[in-house]
Amino acid sequence: MEKQLKLIIRKAKAGDEVGVAEIFRIGLLRKKFLYSGTDKTKTKKEINKMRKDYSQKDKFIFVAVDNLKNKIIGCCSFEFRKKGRVRQNGEMGWMIHPDYQGKGIGT
C-alpha cells in the first residue's frame, strides 16, 4: 500500500533551485510543460540566478515538498511591479512535477 502524500509548502531557499530546475527538465523531457515559453532546460547561469532570487527575502517564491521523500515537487512564484504606470500589475507562475500532476496539488 502506497503511503499518503505529506505535502508541505514553504518559502524557497538557496539550494532549492536544483530541485526546481530538475522538475523543469523532466517536464520538458516528457512534453508536459508545453506553455513554458521555452523548450530548453535551465542553464547554469539561470540556475545561479534562481539561487540568488531564492535567497532574497522580498521575493514571493514558494516550493511544494513531498515530506515523505524530502523531494521538491512543485514551485510557485508571484512578482509585482514596483513602480511606474503598471505597478498594479503582476505575474504568477507555477509548475508541478509530472509524477505528481493530477493529484490536486496545483489547484
CA 56/CA 50 separation, integer angstroms: 10
Exposed / middle / buried, residue 105 (Cβ in 10 Å: 0-12, 13-18, 19+): middle
What pLDDT does residue 106 have?
Answer: 77
What pLDDT does residue 34 have?
Answer: 65
What pLDDT does residue 72 have?
Answer: 96
Average pLDDT, 10 consecutive residues per value, the chain (107 residues): 79 93 90 72 89 85 93 90 74 90 83
CA 24/CA 29 separation, integer angstroms: 9
What pLDDT does residue 2 have?
Answer: 59
